[in-house]
């Protein structure tokens, strides 16, 4: 970071160019604070990997060979903001508020920044796929517990004698130059099968190759994904689905057996890449407030599951109830896609088929139906007109006319609505006439 920094690390000018002035100033202030206390401080992991690749990453992770929480508190004491501690992992988050941002001359865009400090630690895994046990340690041991060589890099910021040293005990820099993802030891994927997801996500994001030995270990460990909790798997998918083109990772994951390890009925559609690309390129002619690209991808991940299997998978992955219900309604609608092609269907029948689908489920169905113009058109007209069509008569009118609420009551209202949707009636007078006829049938 300083101009006297050793030659293999990025200098201040290039750091500013990559991270921007604001984040660079922040790093310098934190470094200065550590230098003043003669504390051993490192910037680690993804930010160093990305700095060396010339990519911006504002997720700043610091490691100290001393108490992280005491350091975060002393920063908050001097500059403001608050500290959120997570004692089991010896980590502390410094959460900047407006005062801290002003004191740090921090740009408004980063006011919400959270800066992570961790005490250097080593980990043991009580059993495969369980969360690790943690004890304080050195930077070398801390880097040794990491996932891949390119993530096991640290830039020392303090004390002054070591400032600017790149700590690279696992050949991460060489692997960055060769574009290789490599684990640090043979048990890595067994200890933590989330690394299977991480390896593939990183490989496709950076366009790197997974080293042959690592690939073999990954394939051998893929079945152990089944031991991960639903929350951890969902979190990994959420990260994958937030990437620019997640379909590459999804296809790789399927070919290594990750999907069947989670649920043996979970297959990925042959059209998945096309569907995901459409999600990014095409927007339906209607707007919906709960639109979110990642949520849309979730629906399409389950295209090949039988509708009965969707609920079980949503439970396994602990999806929110809202997302689970939406995905399940999409699965039911997808089962009806052939019915929706029937040219003899009346608009009211189409409406009945689609009526209980969420906006997101309709959006996903529209993506799948893009090559079926009649279905696509019907979904669009349903959203634009049919689903909002209501008769002028309501339940209170029927009560005034002497009817008791019940099945017949509902049927009359539905018949009136259908007649509007199908164009059988087009005015209030025509609706009144039809209502009279229906009431005559009721009294007969």
User: By rule CB under 6 A, what count of residues binds ligand ATP?
Assistant: 12
- Out of 5, 61, 96, 434, name the contact with ligand ATP by CB under 6 A: 61
Dihedrals phi, psi of 331, to nearest 5 degrees: -60, -40
Q: Of 49, 241, 74, 75, which Cα lies nearest the Cα of 155?
A: 49
CA distance 111 to 101: 6
Q: Does 151 bind ligand ATP (CB under 6 A)?
A: yes
Nearer to ligand ATP, 20 or 46 (CB): 46
Q: Does 46 bind ligand ATP (CB under 6 A)?
A: yes
Q: Of 241, 325, 320, which Cα lies nearest the Cα of 276?
A: 241
CA distance 169 to 407: 74
Q: Please, are residues 28 and 62 in contact by the beta-carbon 8 Å criterion?
A: no
Nearer to ligand ATP, 157 or 302 (CB): 157
Q: Does 431 bind ligand ATP (CB under 6 A)?
A: no
Nearer to ligand ATP, 93 or 333 (CB): 93
Q: Does 173 bind ligand ATP (CB under 6 A)?
A: no
Q: How many CA atoms lie within 13 A of 273 on its CB side?
A: 6
Q: Of 253, 44, 67, 263, which Cα lies nearest the Cα of 169?
A: 44
Nearer to ligand ATP, 61 or 418 (CB): 61
Provide the token pair at 131.
């969360």
Q: Does 168 bind ligand ATP (CB under 6 A)?
A: no
- Out of 147, 175, 236, 304, name the contact with ligand ATP by CB under 6 A: 147
At its nearest, how many Å lie between ligand ATP and the CB of residue 55?
9
CA distance 221 to 228: 12
At its nearest, how many Å lie between ligand ATP and the CB of residue 151?
3
The angle at the Cα of 368, spanning 274 to 262, to the nearest 5 degrees, equals: 75
- Out of 93, 146, 232, 378, name the contact with ligand ATP by CB under 6 A: 146
CB-nearest residue to ligand ATP: 46
Provide the token pair at 1.
């970071």
Q: Does 214 bind ligand ATP (CB under 6 A)?
A: no
Q: Does 119 bind ligand ATP (CB under 6 A)?
A: no
In the complex, which residues of this chain contact ligand ATP (CB under 6 A)?
Answer: 45-46, 57, 59, 61, 146-147, 151, 192, 194-195, 198
């Amino acid at each position: 970071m300083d101009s006297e920094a050793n030659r293999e690390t990025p200098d201040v000018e290039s750091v500013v160019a990559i991270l921007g002035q604001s984040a660079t100033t922040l790093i310098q202030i934190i470094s200065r604070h550590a230098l003043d206390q003669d504390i051993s401080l490192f910037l680690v992991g993804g930010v160093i990997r990305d700095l060396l690749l010339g990519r911006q990453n504002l997720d700043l992770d610091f490691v100290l060979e001393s108490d992280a929480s005491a350091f975060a508190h002393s920063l908050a004491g001097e500059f403001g903001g608050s500290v959120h501690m997570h004692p089991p992992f010896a980590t502390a988050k410094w959460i900047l508020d407006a005062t801290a941002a002003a004191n740090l001359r921090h740009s408004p865009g980063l006011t919400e920044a959270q800066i992570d400090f961790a005490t250097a630690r080593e980990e043991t895994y009580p059993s495969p796929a369980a969360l690790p046990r943690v004890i304080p340690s050195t930077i070398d041991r801390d880097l040794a517990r990491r996932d891949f060589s390119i993530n096991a890099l640290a830039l020392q910021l303090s004390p002054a004698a070591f400032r600017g040293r790149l700590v690279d005990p696992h050949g991460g820099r060489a692997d960055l130059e060769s574009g290789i993802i490599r684990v640090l030891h043979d048990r890595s994927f067994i200890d933590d099968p989330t690394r299977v997801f991480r390896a593939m996500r990183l490989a496709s994001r950076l366009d790197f190759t997974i080293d042959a030995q690592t690939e073999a270990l990954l394939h051998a460990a893929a079945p152990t994904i089944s031991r991960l909790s639903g929350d951890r798997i969902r979190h990994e998918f959420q990260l994958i689905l937030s990437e620019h083109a997640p379909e590459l990772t999804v296809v790789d994951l399927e070919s290594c057996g990750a999907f069947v390890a989670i649920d043996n009925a979970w297959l990925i559609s042959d059209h998945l890449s096309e569907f995901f690309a459409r999600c990014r390129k095409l927007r339906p002619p209607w707007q919906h407030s709960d639109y979110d690209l990642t949520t849309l991808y979730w629906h399409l991940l389950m295209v090949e599951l039988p509708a009965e299997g969707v609920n079980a998978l949503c439970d396994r992955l602990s999806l929110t109830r809202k997302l689970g219900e939406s995905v399940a309604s999409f699965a039911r609608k997808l089962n009806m896609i052939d019915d929706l092609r029937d040219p003899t269907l009346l608009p009211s029948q189409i409406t009945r088929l689609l009526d209980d689908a969420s906006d997101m489920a309709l959006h996903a169905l529209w993506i799948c139906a893009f090559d079926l113009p009649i279905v696509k058109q019907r979904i669009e007209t349903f959203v634009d007109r049919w689903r909002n069509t209501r008769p002028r008569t309501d339940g209170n009118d029927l009560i005034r006319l002497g009817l008791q609420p019940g099945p017949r009551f509902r049927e009359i209202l539905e018949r009136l609505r259908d007649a509007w949707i199908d164009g059988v009636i087009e005015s209030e007078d025509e609706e009144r006439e039809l209502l009279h006829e229906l009431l005559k049938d009721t009294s007969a």
